[in-house]
Amino acid sequence: MKSILLILTTLLLAACSNDTELQSPETVGETAATYKVIDQDLQELKDDFNANQGRVRLMFLSGPTCGICLRGMADLNDAFIAERQDDDRLVTFVVHVPALGAKEKHVAETIPLLSGPRIHHYWEDTGIIGQHFSEVMEVEYYVWDFWTVYGPDALWDGLLPPKPDYYEHQLGVTSGSYRSFPKDRVLDAGRFAVKALELVEMLAAPAGADKSSGHVERADLLADGTEISSVAQPRNVAVRQHIMGRGGYKNLKRIQSVRMAGTITIDDQEFELDIETSRPNTLKRNIGNGGVLPPEIDKLLESTFEFDGLFVEWPDKGHEVSMEGMRKFNDVLAWRLELRQEGGTVWIIYVDSHSGDLIQKDSLDSSGNPALSIRQSDFREVDGFRFPFRTEFFDRNGESIAVENLDAVAVDVAPFDLSEEAVSH
């Protein structure tokens, strides 16, 4: 095999490595989650795999500091694995490898994203399993962020694991003679679920099983609120996703003004709401019939407003942005960032790791605790741009202050085109 696959270089070329900036690992807190530490001979994993012959087995190779990998775990859990925790025909093995600076202490924090009685986690300190799969799959790079399905007949009877019946990946795709995985196998949780469940449904249901019920309890909801403190992705991964999800740099710069109309509910009373924003940095909020937000909230919204959003052109604005990890919000795994505005306001910002939507931002007080939380949802596309049609405001105790629901958004876009130089980020 070619030069044992240039492991270190390849790890930085995977989909999980959009840039080379690496977070410093943090100490993992106490958790009830369990995993096995396995030797490089992989014998314990091999024995567990073979002991479950007769079942459909999923084997995932992941990195506990790789945010893209963790998003894949969460997606597959939400797509079908959580609903199959009472199905004795399916078992899952998750092998965590030391990619992107990961260490054993990072494993336990990630387990809630994919957990249950039929899910088994392992830490493999040498990463040799990725080398074995490179040989099995006949590709020329180190294999991880790799998601496989094995049918009931598969047996691991030698040094190398058996070739999977089906697989998907989140690794880089290359052209030419370099042997890599195809682009049409990039992980899609819905498609993966269909392929896996086709094999499951070919097996007889276990005695006493209720085939009409997919689950007893939604195990994925147990992951809600899970915090991942160390991820290797740099801040610009989240920034780029956010801006591209909103239409891209050039399109955002063409927006001259936005008019929003709807309602705001304060203390159980509903009022008409009109919001106008315009370039360069103008915000007008009009609440009808005498409705008012608390003065400190109104002042904060006005003093921290930025027409293009907190992220756009943050290097030029003097902001400080750092990647702080990830957090699970029901079925969304979000990037967690800290942003310090030039004026001194500090925010913790959560960005959907798929869509780039900014789903929550918390304004911190001098003690570092949330003084105000703003949650955004019901994102819709208007003229090529995404806007949240629902915004909720919460105080430091988590009590609701107000809820905005938009009925209409009108975007005024400049008719001229802009050069890339004029909108560089």
Of 189, 224, 259, the one marking the end of a domain is 224
pLDDT band at 214; cut points 50, 70, 90: very low
Question: Which residues contact residue 361 at a Cβ distance below 8 angstroms, ignoring those fewer than 6 apart?
Answer: 310, 347, 348, 349, 350, 373, 374
Q: Which of 185, 200, 224 is the last residue of a domain?
A: 224
Instruction: Return mean pLDDT, the chain.
Output: 86
The rounded distance, in Å, linking the Cα atoms of 156 and 144 is: 19
Both 352 and 394 in a single domain? yes
The CA–CA distances, whole Å, from 249 to 287, 349, 356, 421 equal 31, 20, 13, 11
Asked if residue 262 and residue 198 are part of one domain, the reply reads no
**Last residue of one domain, picked from the residues 201, 224, 247:** 224
Residue 366 within a domain? yes
Indicate whether 103 belongs to any domain: yes
Q: What is the pLDDT of residue 415?
A: 77
Token pair of 195 as six digits: 């392929």
Q: Is residue 174 part of a domain?
A: yes
- Between 146-150, 228-232, 421-425, the lowest mean confidence (pLDDT) is in 421-425
pLDDT tens for each residue of 118-134:
999 999 999 999 999 99
As for how many domains the chain has, the answer is 2
Mean pLDDT of 303-323: 88
**Do 53 and 189 belong together in one domain?**
yes
Mean pLDDT of the 381-404 span: 94
The yes-or-no verdict on residue 418 having pLDDT over 80 is: no
Q: Are 363 and 346 in contact (CB under 8 A)?
A: yes
Query: In terms of residue numbers, what domain contains 283?
Result: 236-423
One domain, residues 331 and 365: yes
Side-chain half-sphere exposure of 24, counting CA atoms within 13 A: 3
From CA 189, how far away is CA 182, in angstroms rounded? 16
Nearest to 214 by CA among 82, 102, 123: 82
Same domain, 218 and 241: no
Residues above pLDDT 70, as percent of the chain: 84
Asked if residue 108 is part of any domain, the answer here is yes
Lowest mean pLDDT segment, chosen from 74-78, 248-252, 313-317, 387-391:
313-317
Asked whether residue 230 is assigned to any structural domain, the reply reads no
* Domain co-membership, 242 together with 183: no
The answer to the question of residue 229 being in a domain is no
Model pLDDT for residues 35-89, shown as the tens digit of each residue: 999 999 999 999 999 999 999 999 999 999 999 999 999 999 999 999 998 899 9
Pick from 128, 151, 130: which is nearest to 139 by CA? 130
What CATH number is given to the structural domain containing 386?
A: 2.50.20.10
